[in-house]
Amino acid sequence: MRRAPTGVLTVLLVGIAILYLPILVLIGYSFNASPLVNIWGGFSTAWYGRLLHDSELLSAALLSLEVGVAASTCAVILGTLAATALVRFRYFHGRLLLTGMVNAPLVMPEVITGITQLLLFVSMVHLFSWPHRGFTTIVISHVTFCTAYVTVTVQARLMSADRSLEEAAMDLGASPARAFLEVTLPIIAPAIISSWLLCFTLSLDDLVISSFVAGPGASTLPMVIYAKVKLGVSPDVNALASLIVCALGLCIIGARWLMVRGERRRALDARLAAG
Q: 31-34: which pairs have CB atoms within 8 A and are 24 or more residues apart? A: 32/235, 32/238, 34/235
What is the 8-class DSSP label of residue 2? Answer: P
Q: Would you count residue 104 as binding another protein (CB under 8 A)?
A: yes
- Interaction of residue 170 with another protein, rule CB under 8 A: no
Q: Judge whether 59 and 171 are in contact, CB under 8 Å.
A: no
Q: Which residue in 162, 193, 229, 266 binds another protein (CB under 8 A)?
A: 229
Q: Report if residue 201 touches another protein, rule: CB under 8 A.
A: yes
Say if residue 190 is preceded by a cis peptide, omega within 30 of 0: no
Q: Is 16 in the site for another protein (CB under 8 A)?
A: yes
In this chain, which of 43, 52, 53, 89 binds another protein, going by CB under 8 A? 89
Selected from 42, 52, 55, 107, the binder of another protein by CB under 8 A is: 107
Residues 230-269 that bind another protein (CB under 8 A): 230, 233, 237-238, 241, 244-245, 248-249, 251-253, 256, 260
Q: Assess 214 for contact with another protein (CB under 8 A).
A: no
Pick the closer one to another protein by CB: 72 or 144.
144
Which residues touch 204 (CB under 8 Å, ≥6 apart)? Answer: 64, 65, 68, 221, 222, 244, 248
3 sits in the region (left: phi over 0; alpha: psi -120 to 50; else beta) called beta
222 is an interface residue for another protein by CB under 8 A? yes
Q: Which is nearer to another protein, 146 or 187 (CB)?
A: 146
Q: Is 32 helix (H, G, I), strand (E, B) or coil?
A: strand
Q: How far is the CB of 116 from another protein (least distance, A)?
A: 4
28 to 47, contacts with another protein by CB under 8 A?
29, 37-38
Q: Which stretch binds another protein (CB under 8 A): 64-72, 119-127, 161-169, 182-190?
A: 119-127
Name residues whose C-beta falls within 8 Å of residue 270's C-beta, 6 or more positions apart in sequence: 162
**Long-range contacts, stretch 109-116, CB < 8 angstroms, 24+ apart:** 110/206, 110/208, 110/209, 111/208, 111/212, 113/141, 113/144, 113/145, 113/209, 114/141, 114/208, 114/209, 114/210, 114/211, 114/212, 114/213, 115/212
* Residue 97 near another protein by CB under 8 A: yes
User: Judged by CB under 8 A, how many residues of this single chain contact another protein?
Assistant: 90
Q: Is 92 in the site for another protein (CB under 8 A)?
A: yes
Stretch 52-81 residues interacting with another protein (CB under 8 A): 77-79, 81
Closest by CA to 192, choosing from 239, 226, 230, 156, is: 156
CB of 217 to another protein, least distance (A): 14
Stretch that binds another protein, among 46-54, 58-66, 101-109, 182-190 (CB under 8 A): 101-109
